[in-house]
């Protein structure tokens, strides 16, 4: 089974589309701030969170729940507005901001001094996009074609600390995989 959590108006074919709002695109209405979710442990092959985690009130519980429901080897695809994005600042329902290093606190395979919750999740890929990650190679994304995105992803800490307020990033994309303890 594949989950599209917080799908809003963007349903994905082949996924169970879940949202708190009862919209025509939603297969299952569910308050995603209430845990546990009604899914069996280790029953989900893929979880898609497209601009959903910025709305969650308790990211620690969310990450534990995503770890619980995802099968070993399962993939989590997380898109979020970057903390410098006007999309993050505009939506009054956003609860938390996300940056390149935000998920370091929830995985065990990154050299990071703090872990808020223990999961079996591993970051396999992350990307800062001045556009939308899925459309980053669009002809409209001058930042991709001029190499700006390459540079900010090569030096994300420098970009976020010194330049994100001058040239804001639109979106951050994470791909995580659930691994067994011995794989960490």
Residue-range definition of the domain harbouring residue 100: 2-183
Q: What is the tally of structural domains in the chain?
A: 1
CATH number at residue 20: 3.40.50.150
pLDDT tens, residue by residue, 112-139:
888 888 999 999 999 999 998 999 999 9
Burial (CB count within 10 angstroms: exposed 0-12, middle 13-18, buried 19+), residue 154: exposed
The phi, psi pair for 52, rounded to 5°, reads -100, -40
Global model pTM greater than 0.95: no
> How many angstroms separate the CA atoms of 97 and 43, rounded?
29
pLDDT tens, residue by residue, 7-57:
999 999 999 999 999 999 999 999 999 999 999 999 999 999 999 999 999
DSSP bridge pairs for 125: 175
> How many angstroms separate the CA atoms of 86 and 130, rounded?
11
């Amino acid at each position: 089974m594949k989950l599209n959590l917080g799908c809003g108006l963007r349903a994905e074919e082949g996924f169970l589309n879940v949202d708190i709002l009862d919209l025509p695109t939603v297969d299952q209405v569910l308050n995603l701030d209430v845990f546990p979710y009604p899914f069996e442990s280790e029953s989900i092959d893929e979880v898609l969170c497209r601009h959903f985690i910025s709305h969650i009130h308790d990211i620690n519980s969310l990450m534990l729940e995503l770890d619980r429901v995802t099968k070993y080897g399962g993939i989590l695809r997380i898109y979020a507005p970057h903390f410098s994005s006007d999309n993050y600042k505009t939506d009054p329902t956003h609860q938390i901001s996300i940056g390149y290093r935000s998920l370091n606190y929830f995985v065990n395979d990154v050299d990071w001094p703090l872990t808020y919750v223990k999961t079996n999740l591993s970051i396999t890929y992350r990307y800062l996009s001045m556009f939308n990650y899925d459309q980053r190679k669009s002809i409209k994304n001058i930042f991709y074609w001029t190499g700006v995105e390459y540079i900010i992803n090569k030096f994300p800490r420098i970009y976020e600390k010194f330049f994100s307020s001058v040239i804001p990033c639109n979106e951050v994309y994470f791909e995580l995989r659930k691994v067994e303890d011995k794989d960490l």
